Amino acid sequence: MKVTVKTLAEAAGVSRGTVDRVLHGRGAVKPEVALRIKTLAREFGYVPNRAGRALAAFKTPYKIGTLLPSIGNRFFDDVITGINQAREEYSDLGIEVILKEVQGFDVQEHLEAVNSLVKKGCRALCLSTIDVPEMRERINELCDRGIVVILVNTDVSDTRRLCYVGSDYTKAGATCGCMLSMFAHVPCYHILVVTGSRLMLGHNQRIEGFKKALGDNGVSYDIVETVESSDSDIIAQEKTLKALREHEEINCVYVTGSGVQGVGAALIALQKTDLMAIAFDDLYTTKELVLAGIIKFIITQQPQRQGYHAIKRAYQALAGQIGPEVDDFITDTIIKIKANL
């Protein structure tokens, strides 16, 4: 049997307006009445009807704010595609998505972006941001104010966010290591690690997972050097060239962040295209390198689904479809080779 606001109102002996006030915590209701209604709602298993709400309040849509460090980072193109897909799909159910794009990872800039979204009246936020104390505090504060916060692509530790939507970086790294163990082209892998930044949790996890899997699978290897690209192709190319020239023995390059194109350029320049090169994420330029056989395989993380499901989760939370305890949405760890790009 369907339970509606009317059902609850009749059962509690109050008007529908009062029930609405209680369920949304707006307006003042006598505490004992409020409690009675809340109990009733739980007992009856009341779930709001999305169609009803959408129709009634479509002139005051749920505003969902999104923050992405997407300027100058093609990775987020697919995330944005997913966001737009969800935006269109849910538009007639009454949502409005405000997308705020920033460049890089400046704490102040991120904090200000969050503030501006809140000021615009967003009742839910989907954030791809940095794991630093200031942001952590800000997020917890927002949660306490009843704003739904969802972390996208990168989690922020120790927060009361609703959930995380993104990939499992450790697993992604481990999958790389496991793949290498199956190839076993050479007796020992001498590895150059080109990471984006040592400050990026995801990048570090990709390295840790990788090393652990190599160890677990009995692959003999050593990390010759680890360089940082700051996610820049030019820096990646320079540092890769330098390392490869200094260490003739390197027979494997492991790229954890952006700058893949730069690494590819270095490999081509030195004619080391037979060397085992591995990277993450399917940017257009990266795919080209796989097709050319320079990168042997990549691990991807379904960025489009991340964007889509972040918005979907935000809507579901605002519409009362899901409770305050939800599982994280972890996207698949996908191995891509020439054949299934």
Residues near DNA (CB under 7 A): 2, 4-6, 13-18, 20-21, 23-24, 26-30, 33-34, 48-49, 51-53, 55-60
Q: Dump strand ranges (E) for the chain.
A: 62-68, 95-101, 124-127, 148-152, 163-166, 189-195, 221-228, 252-255, 276-280, 297-300, 329-330, 334-336
The phi-psi region of residue 213 (left if phi > 0; otherwise alpha if psi is between -120 and 50; otherwise beta) is: alpha
Tokens found for residue 169: 């970086």
Tell the smallest beta-carbon distance from residue 337 to its own copies (Å): 5
Residues counted in the chain: 341
> Residue 3 or 118: which CB sits closer to DNA?
3
Q: Which does 179 bind (CB under 5 to 8 A by kind): DNA, its own copies, none?
A: its own copies
Cα separation, 179 vs 222, whole angstroms: 17
Based on CB atoms, which residue is closest to DNA, 36 or 336?
36
199 contact partners, CB below 8 Å, separation of at least 6: 105
Per-residue tokens: 246: 């200094």
In the complex with DNA, the residue whose CB is nearer, 72 or 121, is 121
CA distances for 236 relative to 188, 260, 263, 275, 287, angstroms: 24, 7, 6, 17, 17
Binding site for its own copies (CB under 8 A): 47, 49-52, 54-55, 58, 92-94, 171-172, 174-175, 177-179, 182-185, 213, 296-297, 332-335, 337-340
The one of its own copies, DNA, none whose footprint includes residue 182, by CB under 5 to 8 A per kind, is its own copies
Q: Report the nearest approach of DNA to the CB of residue 51 (Å).
A: 7
Could you tell me the smallest distance in angstroms from the CB atom of residue 340 to its own copies? 4
Q: Which is nearer to DNA, 2 or 119 (CB)?
A: 2
Which entry of DNA, its own copies, none binds 15, CB below 5 to 8 A by partner kind?
A: DNA
Q: Which does 29 bind (CB under 5 to 8 A by kind): DNA, its own copies, none?
A: DNA
Tell me the closest approach of the beta carbon of residue 88 to DNA, in angstroms: 16
Q: Which is nearer to its own copies, 159 or 300 (CB)?
A: 300
User: In 99-221, which residue ranges form alpha helices assigned H by DSSP?
Assistant: 107-119, 133-144, 169-183, 201-216
Give whichever of 52 and 72 is closer to its own copies, judged by the CB atom. 52
Q: Which is nearer to its own copies, 19 or 174 (CB)?
A: 174
- Choose from its own copies, DNA, none: what does 21 bind? Cβ within 5-8 Å by kind: DNA
Q: Which listed option, its own copies, DNA, none, makes contact with residue 291 (CB within 5 to 8 Å by class)?
A: none
Tokens (6 digits) for 116:
């501006």
102, with CB counted inside 10 A (0-12, 13-18, 19+), is middle
Q: 332 is written with which tokens?
A: 């698949």
Min CB(149)–its own copies separation in Å: 23
Q: Which residue has the tokens 């704003």?
A: 147
CB 334 within 8 A of CB 300: yes
For residue 133, what are its two tokens? 């104390």
**Minimal distance, residue 286 CB to its own copies, in Å:** 17
Whether the Cβ atoms of residue 95 and residue 38 lie closer than 8 Å to each other = no
Choosing among DNA, its own copies, none, which partner's interface includes residue 340 (Cβ < 5 to 8 Å by kind)?
its own copies
Nearest-angstrom CA–CA distance, 37 and 9: 8
